[in-house]
Structure 1
């Protein structure tokens, strides 16, 4: 695992739970994002987790090579890379 212990988040959170908490924090309170900005953050999180599932490598285990491959994918997605509403998206919706 590449993830370091967080001084803020509880230990043992999955990648999805950590991102969901971050998005929930950005949806409310003093640092609240505009609705359109929040929607874009959520869309990008969905895309990131979808890609991680497709490659079979959890984000917290990514190295620079996996990250570089993801960025290349974003710049020129493969034809098979369709967008479907994911389980992660439904999880984040419940956190909001």
Structure 2
């Protein structure tokens, strides 16, 4: 099937607040901290600007930005080991991680 020439591919449309807030409700795996779980899911899936909005919603709910995984690592600990993660590190640090 041929692609229509009059249709442009749209990449990276801005997410709505409702789409971002969906990440606040992901249930954790057994033994995993719920706050850490949603932070990690959001970090893996969202663009920087959307992750920043997610963190604001996360904190509005009074959730723990310093939550840890079963190995005792925070999301900030994990993100620091990733290349090109400076914007995410800055967001987490501003949030008190």
Q: Which has the greater radius of gyration? A: 2
Normalized per residue, the structure richer in helix is 1
Q: Which has the higher contact order (CA 8 A, sep 6+)?
A: 1
